[in-house]
Amino acid sequence: MPRIPRAQQFDPASVCIVHLVQRCIRRAYLAGVDVLTGKNFEHRREWIRCRMERLASVFGVDVLTYAILSNHMHIVIRTRPDVIAGWSDSDVALRWLRVFPGRRIDEQLADPTTNDVETLANNAERIQAIRTRLSNPSWFMKALCEPIARLANKQDEATGHFWEGRFKALAITDEAGLLACSMYVDLNPIRAAMAQTPEESRHTSAYDRIKSLQGETITSAAAELVAIETSEAGRILRTSTPDQLKKRNAEAKKRRGPSILRDAWLSPLTINERAKVGPQASKTGVRASDKGFLSLDLRDYLTLLDWTGRQRGIAQKADIPQELDPILKRIGIDGRMWVDLVWRFKRYFGRSGAAGSPQSLRESAAQNNRKFARGQRSSAACFVVG
Protein backbone atom coordinates (compact mmCIF):
# COMPACT_ATOMS: atom_id res chain seq x y z
CA MET A 1 0.00 0.00 0.00
CA PRO A 2 1.53 3.38 -0.98
CA ARG A 3 2.54 5.86 1.68
CA ILE A 4 -0.17 8.37 2.57
CA PRO A 5 0.79 11.85 1.29
CA ARG A 6 2.02 14.19 4.02
CA ALA A 7 -0.64 16.72 2.98
CA GLN A 8 -3.27 14.22 4.16
CA GLN A 9 -1.51 13.62 7.48
CA PHE A 10 -1.04 17.19 8.65
CA ASP A 11 -1.84 20.71 7.55
CA PRO A 12 0.63 23.38 8.77
CA ALA A 13 -2.20 25.91 8.66
CA SER A 14 -4.25 23.94 11.23
CA VAL A 15 -3.52 22.75 14.76
CA CYS A 16 -2.67 19.06 14.54
CA ILE A 17 -0.79 16.43 16.54
CA VAL A 18 1.77 14.20 14.81
CA HIS A 19 3.99 11.34 15.97
CA LEU A 20 7.36 11.60 14.21
CA VAL A 21 10.01 8.89 13.96
CA GLN A 22 13.50 9.37 12.50
CA ARG A 23 15.89 6.44 12.16
CA CYS A 24 19.61 6.19 11.37
CA ILE A 25 20.74 4.60 8.14
CA ARG A 26 22.24 1.08 8.13
CA ARG A 27 24.35 0.57 11.28
CA ALA A 28 24.92 4.23 12.14
CA TYR A 29 24.66 4.88 15.86
CA LEU A 30 22.57 7.80 17.01
CA ALA A 31 23.45 7.30 20.67
CA GLY A 32 24.59 4.64 23.12
CA VAL A 33 27.53 2.24 22.90
CA ASP A 34 28.34 0.50 19.61
CA VAL A 35 29.05 -3.09 20.68
CA LEU A 36 31.17 -3.80 17.56
CA THR A 37 33.50 -0.80 17.72
CA GLY A 38 33.24 -0.03 21.43
CA LYS A 39 32.63 3.66 20.68
CA ASN A 40 30.37 5.51 23.10
CA PHE A 41 27.90 7.91 21.50
CA GLU A 42 25.84 8.47 24.64
CA HIS A 43 26.53 12.23 24.61
CA ARG A 44 24.55 12.58 21.39
CA ARG A 45 21.30 12.13 23.29
CA GLU A 46 21.94 15.47 24.99
CA TRP A 47 22.82 17.03 21.62
CA ILE A 48 19.36 16.09 20.38
CA ARG A 49 17.51 17.06 23.55
CA CYS A 50 19.19 20.49 23.58
CA ARG A 51 18.42 21.00 19.91
CA MET A 52 14.76 20.11 20.49
CA GLU A 53 14.67 22.48 23.44
CA ARG A 54 16.10 25.28 21.31
CA LEU A 55 13.61 24.67 18.50
CA ALA A 56 10.73 24.56 20.98
CA SER A 57 11.58 28.17 21.88
CA VAL A 58 11.60 29.29 18.23
CA PHE A 59 9.02 27.28 16.27
CA GLY A 60 5.27 27.45 16.63
CA VAL A 61 5.35 23.84 17.78
CA ASP A 62 4.63 22.20 21.15
CA VAL A 63 6.81 19.19 22.01
CA LEU A 64 4.46 16.82 23.85
CA THR A 65 6.51 13.64 24.34
CA TYR A 66 9.83 12.30 23.08
CA ALA A 67 12.27 9.42 23.46
CA ILE A 68 15.83 9.16 22.13
CA LEU A 69 16.94 5.58 21.46
CA SER A 70 20.19 4.05 20.17
CA ASN A 71 19.42 4.28 16.47
CA HIS A 72 16.20 6.29 16.23
CA MET A 73 14.07 8.85 18.02
CA HIS A 74 10.36 9.43 18.63
CA ILE A 75 8.76 12.87 18.98
CA VAL A 76 5.11 13.79 19.37
CA ILE A 77 4.45 17.42 18.48
CA ARG A 78 1.46 19.73 18.18
CA THR A 79 1.60 22.43 15.53
CA ARG A 80 0.50 25.89 16.68
CA PRO A 81 -0.32 28.22 13.76
CA ASP A 82 -2.76 29.93 16.14
CA VAL A 83 0.17 30.98 18.34
CA ILE A 84 2.20 32.16 15.35
CA ALA A 85 -0.73 34.34 14.26
CA GLY A 86 -0.05 36.49 17.33
CA TRP A 87 3.61 37.10 16.42
CA SER A 88 4.61 40.29 14.65
CA ASP A 89 6.50 40.16 11.35
CA SER A 90 9.67 41.13 13.22
CA ASP A 91 9.14 38.28 15.69
CA VAL A 92 8.75 35.81 12.82
CA ALA A 93 11.85 37.16 11.05
CA LEU A 94 14.01 36.99 14.19
CA ARG A 95 12.91 33.46 15.04
CA TRP A 96 13.61 32.30 11.49
CA LEU A 97 17.06 33.88 11.39
CA ARG A 98 17.96 32.21 14.69
CA VAL A 99 17.52 28.81 13.02
CA PHE A 100 18.24 29.57 9.37
CA PRO A 101 20.69 32.53 9.25
CA GLY A 102 21.11 32.24 5.48
CA ARG A 103 24.88 32.73 5.52
CA ARG A 104 28.09 30.95 6.47
CA ILE A 105 28.36 31.44 10.22
CA ASP A 106 32.13 30.88 10.19
CA GLU A 107 32.51 34.00 8.04
CA GLN A 108 29.89 36.24 9.68
CA LEU A 109 28.31 36.86 13.06
CA ALA A 110 26.23 34.06 14.52
CA ASP A 111 23.69 36.59 15.80
CA PRO A 112 21.16 38.20 13.42
CA THR A 113 21.40 41.98 13.24
CA THR A 114 18.56 44.47 13.53
CA ASN A 115 19.05 45.25 9.84
CA ASP A 116 18.74 41.55 8.93
CA VAL A 117 15.48 41.32 10.87
CA GLU A 118 14.05 44.54 9.42
CA THR A 119 14.92 43.57 5.84
CA LEU A 120 13.25 40.17 6.15
CA ALA A 121 10.24 41.54 8.04
CA ASN A 122 9.57 44.02 5.21
CA ASN A 123 9.30 41.19 2.68
CA ALA A 124 5.60 40.38 3.12
CA GLU A 125 5.52 37.42 0.74
CA ARG A 126 8.57 35.82 2.32
CA ILE A 127 7.27 36.35 5.84
CA GLN A 128 3.96 34.68 4.97
CA ALA A 129 5.83 31.61 3.73
CA ILE A 130 7.98 31.57 6.88
CA ARG A 131 4.91 31.72 9.14
CA THR A 132 3.70 28.50 7.53
CA ARG A 133 7.11 26.87 7.84
CA LEU A 134 7.38 27.66 11.55
CA SER A 135 4.38 25.39 12.22
CA ASN A 136 5.30 22.74 9.66
CA PRO A 137 6.49 19.36 11.06
CA SER A 138 8.71 18.86 7.99
CA TRP A 139 10.62 22.10 8.62
CA PHE A 140 10.82 21.31 12.34
CA MET A 141 12.44 17.95 11.55
CA LYS A 142 14.73 19.56 8.98
CA ALA A 143 15.94 22.04 11.61
CA LEU A 144 16.42 19.21 14.12
CA CYS A 145 18.01 16.51 11.99
CA GLU A 146 20.39 18.34 9.64
CA PRO A 147 22.67 19.82 12.37
CA ILE A 148 22.73 16.49 14.21
CA ALA A 149 23.74 14.68 11.01
CA ARG A 150 26.56 17.16 10.37
CA LEU A 151 27.87 16.84 13.92
CA ALA A 152 27.66 13.03 13.86
CA ASN A 153 29.39 12.75 10.47
CA LYS A 154 32.14 15.08 11.65
CA GLN A 155 32.65 13.01 14.77
CA ASP A 156 32.56 9.74 12.79
CA GLU A 157 34.87 11.20 10.13
CA ALA A 158 32.29 10.13 7.56
CA THR A 159 30.31 11.69 4.74
CA GLY A 160 26.95 10.96 3.15
CA HIS A 161 23.56 10.21 4.65
CA PHE A 162 23.18 9.76 8.39
CA TRP A 163 19.37 9.47 8.51
CA GLU A 164 17.32 6.75 6.83
CA GLY A 165 15.40 8.89 4.33
CA ARG A 166 12.35 10.90 5.31
CA PHE A 167 10.97 10.76 8.80
CA LYS A 168 7.84 8.70 9.40
CA ALA A 169 4.72 10.61 10.40
CA LEU A 170 1.57 9.38 12.13
CA ALA A 171 -1.34 11.77 12.63
CA ILE A 172 -3.03 11.50 16.03
CA THR A 173 -6.77 11.85 15.59
CA ASP A 174 -8.17 11.95 19.15
CA GLU A 175 -7.24 11.93 22.85
CA ALA A 176 -7.42 8.13 23.09
CA GLY A 177 -4.86 7.78 20.34
CA LEU A 178 -2.74 10.51 21.91
CA LEU A 179 -2.67 8.85 25.35
CA ALA A 180 -1.73 5.48 23.88
CA CYS A 181 0.92 7.04 21.62
CA SER A 182 2.41 9.12 24.45
CA MET A 183 2.72 6.02 26.64
CA TYR A 184 4.19 4.06 23.74
CA VAL A 185 6.86 6.73 23.22
CA ASP A 186 7.69 7.15 26.91
CA LEU A 187 8.01 3.37 27.36
CA ASN A 188 10.36 2.83 24.41
CA PRO A 189 13.53 2.58 26.57
CA ILE A 190 11.82 -0.11 28.67
CA ARG A 191 10.70 -1.91 25.50
CA ALA A 192 14.33 -1.82 24.28
CA ALA A 193 15.58 -3.16 27.66
CA MET A 194 17.56 0.04 28.21
CA ALA A 195 15.75 0.76 31.48
CA GLN A 196 13.46 -0.97 33.96
CA THR A 197 11.24 1.93 34.98
CA PRO A 198 10.30 5.41 33.66
CA GLU A 199 12.44 6.93 36.45
CA GLU A 200 15.49 5.30 34.85
CA SER A 201 14.53 6.15 31.25
CA ARG A 202 16.81 9.11 30.65
CA HIS A 203 16.21 11.34 27.63
CA THR A 204 12.48 10.77 27.56
CA SER A 205 9.70 13.22 28.35
CA ALA A 206 8.55 10.99 31.22
CA TYR A 207 11.97 11.21 32.86
CA ASP A 208 11.99 15.00 32.49
CA ARG A 209 8.53 15.33 34.05
CA ILE A 210 9.39 13.02 36.95
CA LYS A 211 12.59 14.94 37.71
CA SER A 212 10.74 18.25 37.53
CA LEU A 213 8.27 17.03 40.15
CA GLN A 214 11.34 16.43 42.32
CA GLY A 215 12.53 20.00 41.68
CA GLU A 216 15.42 19.23 39.33
CA THR A 217 16.50 22.11 37.09
CA ILE A 218 18.63 22.48 33.95
CA THR A 219 20.31 25.42 32.25
CA SER A 220 18.02 26.64 29.50
CA ALA A 221 19.08 26.04 25.89
CA ALA A 222 16.36 28.34 24.52
CA ALA A 223 17.34 30.71 21.72
CA GLU A 224 17.90 34.37 22.56
CA LEU A 225 15.15 36.23 20.72
CA VAL A 226 17.07 39.49 20.60
CA ALA A 227 18.94 40.86 17.56
CA ILE A 228 22.32 42.59 17.79
CA GLU A 229 22.46 46.24 16.73
CA THR A 230 23.75 46.63 13.17
CA SER A 231 26.33 49.24 14.21
CA GLU A 232 27.70 46.94 16.91
CA ALA A 233 27.87 44.05 14.45
CA GLY A 234 29.85 46.23 12.03
CA ARG A 235 32.31 47.21 14.77
CA ILE A 236 32.87 43.57 15.74
CA LEU A 237 33.47 42.53 12.14
CA ARG A 238 35.91 45.41 11.53
CA THR A 239 37.97 44.81 14.66
CA SER A 240 37.98 40.99 14.78
CA THR A 241 40.37 38.60 13.05
CA PRO A 242 38.88 35.44 11.46
CA ASP A 243 40.07 33.38 14.44
CA GLN A 244 38.54 35.81 16.93
CA LEU A 245 35.28 35.79 15.03
CA LYS A 246 35.23 32.01 14.97
CA LYS A 247 35.89 31.90 18.72
CA ARG A 248 33.12 34.42 19.39
CA ASN A 249 30.63 32.41 17.35
CA ALA A 250 31.65 29.19 19.11
CA GLU A 251 31.05 30.86 22.48
CA ALA A 252 27.67 32.14 21.27
CA LYS A 253 26.62 28.58 20.41
CA LYS A 254 27.50 27.44 23.93
CA ARG A 255 25.70 30.35 25.55
CA ARG A 256 22.93 29.23 27.90
CA GLY A 257 20.09 30.97 29.65
CA PRO A 258 18.82 30.83 33.25
CA SER A 259 17.94 27.68 35.18
CA ILE A 260 14.51 26.21 34.45
CA LEU A 261 12.65 23.10 35.59
CA ARG A 262 13.75 20.12 33.55
CA ASP A 263 10.43 19.86 31.69
CA ALA A 264 9.72 23.60 31.33
CA TRP A 265 10.39 23.50 27.57
CA LEU A 266 7.88 20.68 27.06
CA SER A 267 4.16 21.31 26.72
CA PRO A 268 2.32 20.94 30.05
CA LEU A 269 0.69 17.51 30.13
CA THR A 270 -2.57 18.43 31.86
CA ILE A 271 -5.18 20.58 30.12
CA ASN A 272 -6.05 23.51 32.37
CA GLU A 273 -9.84 23.66 32.29
CA ARG A 274 -9.82 27.07 33.97
CA ALA A 275 -7.54 28.72 31.44
CA LYS A 276 -8.98 31.08 28.86
CA VAL A 277 -9.95 29.54 25.55
CA GLY A 278 -7.41 30.41 22.88
CA PRO A 279 -3.76 29.88 21.94
CA GLN A 280 -2.39 30.35 25.50
CA ALA A 281 0.92 31.56 24.09
CA SER A 282 3.79 31.13 26.54
CA LYS A 283 5.48 34.20 27.96
CA THR A 284 8.50 32.32 29.31
CA GLY A 285 10.33 32.21 25.96
CA VAL A 286 11.15 28.51 26.30
CA ARG A 287 8.13 27.00 24.53
CA ALA A 288 5.35 28.01 22.13
CA SER A 289 2.40 27.72 24.50
CA ASP A 290 1.26 26.76 27.98
CA LYS A 291 -1.64 24.61 26.76
CA GLY A 292 -1.83 21.00 28.00
CA PHE A 293 -2.79 18.04 25.84
CA LEU A 294 -4.42 15.37 28.05
CA SER A 295 -7.42 15.57 30.35
CA LEU A 296 -5.74 13.83 33.26
CA ASP A 297 -3.42 14.85 36.05
CA LEU A 298 0.33 14.39 35.54
CA ARG A 299 0.60 12.14 38.60
CA ASP A 300 -2.22 9.92 37.26
CA TYR A 301 -0.41 9.73 33.93
CA LEU A 302 2.84 8.70 35.61
CA THR A 303 1.03 6.12 37.75
CA LEU A 304 -0.59 4.60 34.68
CA LEU A 305 2.73 4.75 32.81
CA ASP A 306 4.57 2.97 35.62
CA TRP A 307 1.93 0.23 35.88
CA THR A 308 1.85 -0.27 32.10
CA GLY A 309 5.65 -0.46 31.96
CA ARG A 310 5.66 -3.24 34.57
CA GLN A 311 3.52 -5.43 32.28
CA ARG A 312 6.39 -5.89 29.82
CA GLY A 313 7.12 -9.56 29.18
CA ILE A 314 4.18 -10.80 31.26
CA ALA A 315 2.31 -13.47 29.30
CA GLN A 316 -0.98 -13.13 31.21
CA LYS A 317 -1.64 -9.40 31.48
CA ALA A 318 -3.09 -8.19 34.76
CA ASP A 319 -6.37 -6.32 34.92
CA ILE A 320 -5.85 -2.60 35.09
CA PRO A 321 -6.09 -1.24 38.67
CA GLN A 322 -9.56 -0.01 39.62
CA GLU A 323 -8.37 3.53 40.31
CA LEU A 324 -6.91 3.80 36.77
CA ASP A 325 -9.75 2.20 34.82
CA PRO A 326 -12.01 5.33 34.90
CA ILE A 327 -9.24 7.33 33.20
CA LEU A 328 -9.40 5.04 30.20
CA LYS A 329 -13.17 4.68 30.11
CA ARG A 330 -13.56 8.46 30.02
CA ILE A 331 -11.75 8.64 26.69
CA GLY A 332 -13.24 5.45 25.25
CA ILE A 333 -10.50 2.84 25.80
CA ASP A 334 -11.31 -0.69 27.01
CA GLY A 335 -9.19 -1.20 30.11
CA ARG A 336 -8.86 -4.92 29.40
CA MET A 337 -7.06 -4.11 26.13
CA TRP A 338 -4.98 -1.17 27.35
CA VAL A 339 -1.69 -3.04 27.79
CA ASP A 340 -2.04 -4.66 24.39
CA LEU A 341 -2.84 -1.31 22.75
CA VAL A 342 0.30 0.35 24.16
CA TRP A 343 2.80 -2.49 23.90
CA ARG A 344 1.60 -3.42 20.40
CA PHE A 345 0.92 0.14 19.27
CA LYS A 346 3.11 -0.32 16.20
CA ARG A 347 1.19 -3.48 15.23
CA TYR A 348 -2.12 -1.61 15.32
CA PHE A 349 -1.06 1.66 13.71
CA GLY A 350 2.47 1.16 12.34
CA ARG A 351 1.33 0.81 8.73
CA SER A 352 -1.40 3.39 9.03
CA GLY A 353 -1.18 7.12 8.47
CA ALA A 354 -3.08 7.89 11.66
CA ALA A 355 -3.75 6.60 15.19
CA GLY A 356 -6.93 6.87 17.24
CA SER A 357 -10.29 5.27 17.85
CA PRO A 358 -12.02 3.62 14.86
CA GLN A 359 -14.59 6.40 14.71
CA SER A 360 -11.99 9.18 14.64
CA LEU A 361 -9.99 7.27 12.02
CA ARG A 362 -13.07 7.02 9.80
CA GLU A 363 -13.73 10.73 10.22
CA SER A 364 -10.12 11.58 9.42
CA ALA A 365 -10.19 9.43 6.29
CA ALA A 366 -13.42 11.06 5.12
CA GLN A 367 -11.94 14.54 5.57
CA ASN A 368 -9.08 13.55 3.26
CA ASN A 369 -11.41 11.96 0.67
CA ARG A 370 -10.32 8.44 1.51
CA LYS A 371 -12.74 5.55 1.97
CA PHE A 372 -10.70 3.65 4.53
CA ALA A 373 -8.05 4.15 7.22
CA ARG A 374 -5.76 1.25 8.06
CA GLY A 375 -5.84 0.20 11.71
CA GLN A 376 -9.49 0.89 12.42
CA ARG A 377 -10.54 -2.77 12.20
CA SER A 378 -7.60 -4.29 14.04
CA SER A 379 -7.80 -1.75 16.88
CA ALA A 380 -11.61 -1.84 17.26
CA ALA A 381 -11.45 -4.33 20.14
CA CYS A 382 -9.33 -1.87 22.18
CA PHE A 383 -12.04 0.80 22.26
CA VAL A 384 -15.44 1.10 23.87
CA VAL A 385 -18.23 1.60 21.33
CA GLY A 386 -20.16 4.81 21.97
HEC string of the chain equals: CCCCCHHHHCCCCCCCEEEEEEEECCCCCCCCECCCCCCECCCHHHHHHHHHHHHHCCCCEEEEEEEECCCEEEEEEEECHHHHCCCCHHHHHHHHHHHCCCCCCCCCCCCCEHHHHHHHHCCHHHHHHHHHHCCCHHHHHHHHHHHHHHHHHHHHCCCCCCECCCCEEEEECCHHHHHHHHHHHHCHHHHCCCCCCHHHCCCEHHHHHHHHHCCCEEECCCCCCCCECHHHHHHHHHHCCHHHHHHHHHHHHHCCCCEEECCCCCCCCECCCCCCCCCCECCCCCCCECCCCECCCHHHHHHHHHHHHCCCCCCCCCCCCCCCHHHHHHCCECHHHHHHHHHCHHHHHCCCCEECCHHHHHHHHHHCCCCCCCCCCCCHHHECCC
Tens digit of each residue's pLDDT (9 = 90 or more) over 359-376: 888 888 788 777 667 777
In a domain, 124, yes or no: no
pLDDT of 342: 94
In a domain, 118, yes or no: no
Indicate the average pLDDT of the chain.
88
Tens digit of each residue's pLDDT (9 = 90 or more) over 286-329: 999 999 999 999 999 999 999 999 987 675 666 788 888 888 99
In a domain, 153, yes or no: yes
**Number of structural domains in the chain:** 1
In a domain, 2, yes or no: no
Is residue 245's pLDDT more than 90? no
pLDDT of 371: 67
Q: How confident is the model at residue 183 (pLDDT cuts 50, 70, 90)?
A: very high
Residue with more model confidence, 354 or 103: 354
Residue with more model confidence, 289 or 253: 289
Residue with more model confidence, 252 or 188: 188
Q: How confident is the model at residue 265 (pLDDT cuts 50, 70, 90)?
A: very high
Q: How confident is the model at residue 281 (pLDDT cuts 50, 70, 90)?
A: very high
Is residue 2's pLDDT more than 60? no
pTM for the full predicted model: 0.91
Is residue 215's pLDDT more than 90? yes
Domain residues for the domain of 272 are: 13-80+135-222+257-382
pLDDT of 36: 65
Q: What CATH number did the domain enclosing 148 receive?
A: 3.30.70.1290
Q: How confident is the model at residue 150 (pLDDT cuts 50, 70, 90)?
A: confident
In a domain, 197, yes or no: yes
In a domain, 315, yes or no: yes
* Max avg pLDDT among 17-31, 38-52, 273-287: 273-287
In a domain, 207, yes or no: yes
In a domain, 165, yes or no: yes
